[in-house]
Structure 1
């Protein structure tokens, strides 16, 4: 038994440490100064009864404050294919890959031209102006740029706005296999809304040369000679600016419970204020909210242009000139990078620390003035020195950590050593403090226990210590245990303890915790097995202390 636990532990330890080895080796630093992106939201339509309802939710999807929205005329791609798709030989629905079809339709409908027309505020008579470019330039310009003055400042702001054209994206949402379906049996049977989905990210194929060509051949305003206006208007309308696929991501079947059957099972205690139709509508809305949120999260984490990057501007506390405009939220993770010379005379990237945004996130949703507010950050890990001028790079995570290690119950003898596994969710709190909700599984001998706990305590960079308390179930398992009811083999468990965590090399920590258990509500078979000695006189007794030691991987 111990050999098996040791093997499992070493296997999981290797999995945890492997991503940390070589961290930052060859890692590329995104553009040092954050430039805002703009996006157009487009949906697929199938000509079915779901089109209007899907449109309402896709059109209201939130891309966060870091995007400008290009409200072009093209909002839907209408196709005659079925929304449902099952790969040949499979009973599971998947989101079909419509890359070729979507690429063709976007370019046929001149999506790129529509974006340029919107950014340059093109009117029905063909006239254009720089109002929107100038507005976006001010809003997206970095505060450092605004320390310039006079004409140079104006040119810098206009240039920042023009750069956004080259960072214009189209996000095409495709919700497929949308259906109502029952899952579960007996008391767990419930009606769900289910769907698969995909997001196609396209980018306007645009560079500085295209901008020069645009001003030379297609720009039209009140100063354009009358004899050139009609020709330039027609030339722009015939100009096709291609868009190209950057990435495609998809989601497997997602489901949201309607709660209809669960409410019926409550009988007279059920909620009568909400009808079944309202429950269906709410679940439909929640499904699309989750689909858009998951797709947006995956694409933002994957695509470098969407990563927020900015210099640290001051210390004590650590501050940077980003905030709500860049969709910074409490707890958002950042890495602080610096540069260091190597023996070859080159420069390598060095990670100096891991930081999270505190509750003091600046509301900077105003044009840049040179005096915009700063958000505050706190260092949670890293053994480098964080100084002014280092570059902060956004590194989104799930706020989860997986712990694996050895578990031991001292009372009774060494036979009670076993395997420990836990999954923790970090609840972001005040600077200098940490809070975790944790699900734990401990295996030892022919028994196991699983607990839910919550801990709150102190944090300094690279070290955390906090008390925790939890409840759970302790259970015996052996050949022939199916002859007993689970309640006969179980007991309830209340646990309180202390956990300490030390950063080895982020995202890997070493953890140790000690706890005290109180067992109650024992089943009759549990009582028979409890305290039974083996041939060496060792026995298992859960009342008392329990310890665990292992490694934790944050992701």
Structure 2
């Protein structure tokens, strides 16, 4: 027990230092102001083709790529930009990163009239060159929240004011240009790495996918120019020709890069699918993986892409967002409060961290009394509905625990947890039973001397692996507990022998966690281990002894283990 006390003190000191660093980092974040404003953005997806191997085939998959529901879909009739020169002539080096030139990509956007096509979509341009505001009104109404509706209803113009909101949405039009660089088959990857034939277990594709995000600049001056020189509600050939010749400005926003694969095990392999996917299907898998990773990065790095909403109620915490904003079950949000300093400046302070436990389907025009989604709190202080607001803060949805166990199957152990509740959630339901539901995989190692058979004081190495389900229940804003249940295998090897003793066991117990910061907890747990069977095998996996008294020989196994550790949430 002394050992676990020493481990506890070491972890506590390390955690305290880590928490202090995080606190200092948080102060820097709070020095700015987090905007509480949010409107739906729109996306247009395009590919760029350098006529390299498989690039045309890969770009063809973009037609199957769906714009996420939280964005308006500004798909145009051009899907692929054909580069007029080779990649090298299109590239620049920024620092250590080689990438496509924004200037040349934007020039391609102009050559393909992407700006005109996006504006034509917003203003519902007709074949005769006339414009109308039908789509603009529809999107303005759909974008409005309850607060917008109430304010508009109190004004003289009523719902017409909501329709006007569509004008502001045009300036939130984005273009994502995807570039498949270094696209190779797995056979080519294996050849490049000189991988032996017996290790070539997969087929498919690997690539570096670059995403270049640009914003259509439709600010007040550009809008004024558009209405003066191009807008017409009656056929006007002069204005129609001028619109076709125009160049609407684009602003570079961000460059993202992802190493991705679309692969499967070869036919005949134990893990191979029953039916092998085609090359196009594997390229689609690669494209989808890159797209999801890029959207996550874009939401993390660009304020416009993160959903925000005011807290509308507490007990439970609620906000009037839902599927329309892309809200997902167990998705993380930060709760902020803007405060004024003595010098008159305003800062945003993070007051709490919450996760969604009920996601409403609000994909309709508001009538002023929309149902709210509900959240549970995992960190922070008191939340109120008097000006506090939420901001989307995506996480990986995984935790890692490193600790030490004394008793039972003791030793150093690490656990990886992955949140799985969203896979079983049905929109509209309040599902507390699925919140913080996790699948876990745990590993442990220990070395101790034991007597066994003809071996005296031999050095044994114990390796343990287990997996199961766990769930967290939050008792307060900073304390949680959680039961878990799993099954595992431990193997014992020792110096001077090539034999192995393997044991199957079940484990069950509970953990208690205390927040050191919103994403770091000090964890204590009690685990009961029950050995099911043990056998000894030789180096050829032949059974030497069918039943081994594992707990009796090694004084480990059946019984209670007490653990302390540190959990980091990603």
Stretch moving more, 68-77 or 321-330: 68-77
Closer, same or farther: CA 376–410 of 1 in aligned 2, 3 Å: closer
1:58 equivalent in alignment to 2:71 = no
Question: What is the Cα deviation at residue 393 of structure 1?
Answer: 0.6
**How far apart in 1 are the matches of 2:107 and 2:346?**
43
Partners of 1:95 and 1:279 in 2: how far apart? Answer: 32
Task: Report the counterpart of residue 512 of structure 1 in structure 2.
Answer: 524
Q: 1:123 to 1:255 in 2, by over 3 A?
A: closer
Q: Which residues of 2 match residues 147-226 of structure 1 at below 5 A?
A: 147=150, 148-149=152-153, 151-182=156-187, 186=198, 189-222=201-234
Shift of the alpha carbon at 1:188? 7.5
Segments of structure 1 that go 5 or more residues without pairing to the other structure are: 88-93, 533-538
Query: How far has the Cα of 1:408 moved from its partner?
Result: 1.9
Runs (5+) with no aligned partner, structure 2: 92-96, 426-430, 448-460, 539-544
Aligned equivalent of 2:437, options 416, 435, 438? 435
The answer to whether the 8 Å contact 2:181/2:207 transfers is: yes
How many equivalent residue pairs?
518
**TM-score normalised by length of structure 2:** 0.80
Aligned partner of residue 396 in structure 2, secondary structure: coil
The equivalent residue for 2:379 is: 381
Helix, strand or coil: the match of 1:159?
A: helix
Q: Distance in 2 between matches of 1:61 and 1:95?
A: 26
CA contact (8 A) 1:336 1:352 kept: yes
Given that 2:445 and 2:464 are in contact with CA atoms closer than 8 Å, whether structure 1 keeps it comes out as yes
- For residue 456 of structure 2, what is the aligned residue in structure 1? none
Asked whether the 8 Å contact 1:513–1:549 carries over to 2, the reply is: yes
More deviation in 448-457 or 128-137? 448-457
- Residues of 2 paired with 1:342 and 1:335: CA distance? 21
The correspondence of residues 355-434 of structure 1 with structure 2, limited to 5 A, is 355-358=354-357, 360-409=358-407, 418-428=411-421, 430-431=431-432, 434=436
1:80-479 mapped onto 2 (5 Å cutoff): 97=100, 99-147=102-150, 148-149=152-153, 151-182=156-187, 186=198, 189-222=201-234, 229-262=236-269, 271=274, 274=275, 276=276, 278=277, 280=279, 282-358=281-357, 360-409=358-407, 418-428=411-421, 430-431=431-432, 434-445=436-447, 446-456=461-471, 458-460=473-475, 461-476=477-492
Asked whether the equivalents of residues 179 and 210 of structure 2 are also in contact (C-alpha less than 8 Å), the reply is yes
Q: Which residue of 1 aligns with 2:566?
A: 551
The two structures, once aligned, show a CA RMSD in angstroms of 3.6
What is the Cα deviation at residue 363 of structure 1?
Answer: 1.8
**3-state SS in 1 of match to 2:413:** strand
Structure 1 residue 6 displacement after superposition = 9.8
What TM-score do the two structures reach when normalised by structure 1?
Answer: 0.82
Name the CA distance, whole Å, in 2 between partners of 1:8 and 1:206.
57
Cα deviation, residue 395, structure 1? 0.7
Which secondary structure state, in structure 1, belongs to the residue aligned with residue 363 of structure 2? coil
Match of 1:91 in 2: none
Aligned-partner Cα distance in 2 for 1:299–1:100:
21
Higher mean displacement: 331-340 or 118-127: 118-127
How far 1:161 sits from its partner (Å)? 0.6
Would the alpha carbon gap of residues 11 and 448 (structure 1) be closer, same or farther in structure 2, given more than 3 Å must change?
Answer: farther
CA distance in 1, matches of 2:15, 2:492: 25
Deviation at 1:97, TM superposition (A): 4.0
Cα distance per residue 1:28-86 (max 9 Å; x no partner): 454313201011111122446745643443122223211111233332111266799xx
**Contact 1:192-1:257 within 8 A present in 2 as well:** yes
**Alignment partner, residue 67 of structure 1:** 71
**1:506 deviation in Å?**
0.4
On the 8 A contact 1:336/1:386 being kept in 2, the answer is: no
Question: 1:467 and 1:544, CA in 2 relative to 1: closer, same or farther beyond 3 A?
Answer: same
